[in-house]
Amino acid sequence: MFDSLSDRLGGVFDKLRGRGALKEQDVRDAMREVRIALLEADVALPVVRRFIDQVTEKAIGQSVLRSVTPGQQVVKIVNDAIIEMLGGDVTPELDLNAAPPVVIMMVGLQGSGKTTSTAKIAKLLKEKQGKKAMMASLDVNRPAAQEQLKVLGEQVGVATLPIIPGQQPTEIATRAMQAAKLQAVDVLLLDTAGRLHVDQQLMDEMKAVAEISNPRETLLVVDSLTGQDAVNVAQSFSGQVDLTGVVLTRMDGDARGGAALSMRAVTGKPIKFAGTGEKMEALEVFHPSRVANRILG
């Protein structure tokens, strides 16, 4: 097991106790440790570089407070910088300020946890916000994907659009909009098709669905365990659709937490939810400070 970053920084700065200001060479030594910790936490390399540059600049010349050691002070600077990079210590909410039915479009690769997250969010909207929700699966690629959403809908007590075999995603989206209007639904969640790899057909289909449904939220679902792949996926999607946020799944299996930092840096969008298990309750609003704690250890 590695020492935590906090301990290692303490080690770097032990010899410095009591000096007046953080010196450039000391900060650079400390940043070597931070860099290793971030890479171990699976933060993407370009993001690590940017982060280190920002923090180095901030730290050099800062006078050391009397009450803390230089190591503790650098840990605080790094902690604050992680939180700032994640958008500040606020929990971002869904933006549902539009005429109903407000559409939430879920996008992402197959297996990322899209369908599960769709049902989890529908449950949360129903139970925590008293919304009348409806879900529709536009996933005609994966066998039984539409059935899966239906089953989850029954589990969480949220209606799903009846399945008509053979319909294409845009047809389903059109039908879902009509049904949601007719049934005075507040929020319509569209679970779009995923594929194993990002491809143009997937992107075109997503854009066509967005055109029809005019989503207020477009949430990219990514698996936090897929590291650099997740970063590439985020890059591809954010170049093609106007994402409004990210759902990071499998945070229960990610002891390292670095994916959050990469996702935020690459998409520039807030992480709105963290999936923390397979159960329908296993969805948390995202807390930047918890991720900072995980990374700093």
Q: Which residues bind ligand GDP (CB under 6 A)?
A: 108, 110-116, 194, 249-250, 252-253, 275-278, 282
110 is in an annotated binding site: yes
User: In terms of CB distance, is 37 or 221 closer to ligand GDP?
Assistant: 221
Give the whole-angstrom CA distance, residue 184 versus residue 189.
14
User: Tokens 């989850």 map to which residue?
Assistant: 152
Amino acid at 249: T
251 is in an annotated binding site: yes
Whole-number minimum distance, CB 177 to ligand GDP, in Å? 21
User: In terms of CB distance, is 40 or 252 closer to ligand GDP?
Assistant: 252
User: In terms of CB distance, is 70 or 245 closer to ligand GDP?
Assistant: 245
195 is in an annotated binding site: yes
Whole-number minimum distance, CB 112 to ligand GDP, in Å? 4
| Token pair listed for 216 | 């207020």
Most distant CA atoms of the chain, gap in Å? 73
Give the whole-angstrom CA distance, residue 119 versus residue 43.
29
User: In terms of CB distance, is 120 or 264 closer to ligand GDP?
Assistant: 120
User: In terms of CB distance, is 10 or 153 closer to ligand GDP?
Assistant: 153
Whole-number minimum distance, CB 210 to ligand GDP, in Å? 18
H or E stretch covering 233: helix 227-240
193 is in an annotated binding site: yes
Give the whole-angstrom CA distance, residue 242 versus residue 150.
27
192 is in an annotated binding site: yes
Amino acid at 136: A
User: In terms of CB distance, is 33 or 223 closer to ligand GDP?
Assistant: 223
Whole-number minimum distance, CB 277 to ligand GDP, in Å? 5
* Cβ-based neighbour number of residue 183 at 10 Å: 12
Residues 6 or more apart whose CB falls under 8 angstroms from that of 111 comprise 194, 196, 223
112 is in an annotated binding site: yes
Whole-number minimum distance, CB 230 to ligand GDP, in Å? 13
Ranked by CB distance to ligand GDP, the top (closest) residue is 275
Evaluate whether 292 touches 256 at the Cβ level (below 8 Å): no
User: In terms of CB distance, is 27 or 189 closer to ligand GDP?
Assistant: 189
**The CA-based dihedral angle spanning residues 135, 139, 145, 149, taken in that order and rounded to the nearest 10 degrees:** 0
Whole-number minimum distance, CB 54 to ligand GDP, in Å? 30
Give the whole-angstrom CA distance, residue 297 versus residue 292.
8
Residues 6 or more apart whose CB falls under 8 angstroms from that of 144 comprise none
250 is in an annotated binding site: yes
115 is in an annotated binding site: yes
Whole-number minimum distance, CB 74 to ligand GDP, in Å? 33
How far is Cα of residue 81 from the mean position of the Cα atoms in its chain?
Answer: 18
Annotated binding site for GTP: 108-115, 191-195, 249-252
Annotated binding site: 108-115, 191-195, 249-252
